[in-house]
Amino acid sequence: MIITRTRLKSLLQITTTTYDTLIDVLIPLVEQTVCHYCNDDFLDIDFRFKNYLHKNTLSFISSTGKIRNTLQDNLSYDLIAGDSIRVYDTAHNNQTFTIDAIDAEYFTLNPIDSVFDENAGKFYCIYKVKYPVALQLVVSRMIQFQLKKIVPLFKSEKLDDYSYTNENDLVLGYPKLLISGLNQFRKPFYQEWSGEDV
């Protein structure tokens, strides 16, 4: 995951458990917002070219929150507990997951992630994700913004150093100044060429 609850609470100096459930809900939502805004799934380049998984023996099990390898042929591929992975080419599980444990047959995923049942038989791709550590600062502020439940209904509101006057000053539901912290990680959006000259 892009940031753990423990790390987030440390950065925001939250000492109570009041918001733990909400934080666990917000982390994957903010993670997807970051990936969308940055046009990047933050795939680990080294892992992508050497060790990515492309198997038709993988299944997803909702009840246990696991990815199962029916061949039981060393599923680890240099991944360890705590690593984030990005899944592609599935019907319902194209998203980022965090691994809690690994054995020859299973990836046990962090309970923060939602897993949907899918059977083996199709080729699914799994890549390792590597987020820049500096993203944690921006993400923690994004989650802080959500925790304070600020709704842009008033003409002017302020959150610490981030202020805005109306909904036109928001990007993806966040103040422009706050979301601009992601600009250094943003990749240009490349539209597929249609064959026609512009």
Per-residue pLDDT of the chain (198 residues; tens, 9 = 90+): 899 999 999 999 989 888 888 899 899 999 999 999 999 999 998 876 676 778 888 899 999 999 998 776 666 667 888 899 999 999 999 999 999 998 878 889 988 888 999 999 899 988 999 999 999 999 999 999 888 764 343 334 455 555 544 556 788 888 888 999 999 999 886 544 444 443
Sign of CA dihedral 93, 99, 103, 108: negative
Euclidean distance between CA atoms 5 and 24, whole angstroms? 7
Euclidean distance between CA atoms 2 and 139, whole angstroms? 8
Q: Which fold has domain 45-129?
A: Elongation Factor Tu (Ef-tu); domain 3 (2.40.30)
Q: What does the DSSP 8-state code read for residue 188?
A: P
Domain with CATH 2.40.30.180 in the chain: 45-129
The encoded tokens of residue 11 equal: 């950065």
Sheet holding 96-102, edge to edge: 53-55, 124-129, 84-88, 96-102, 106-109, 66-69, 58-61
Nearest to 96 by CA among 172, 21, 20, 44: 44
- DSSP E strands, 18-118: 53-55, 58-61, 66-69, 84-88, 96-102, 106-109
pTM of the shown model:
0.76
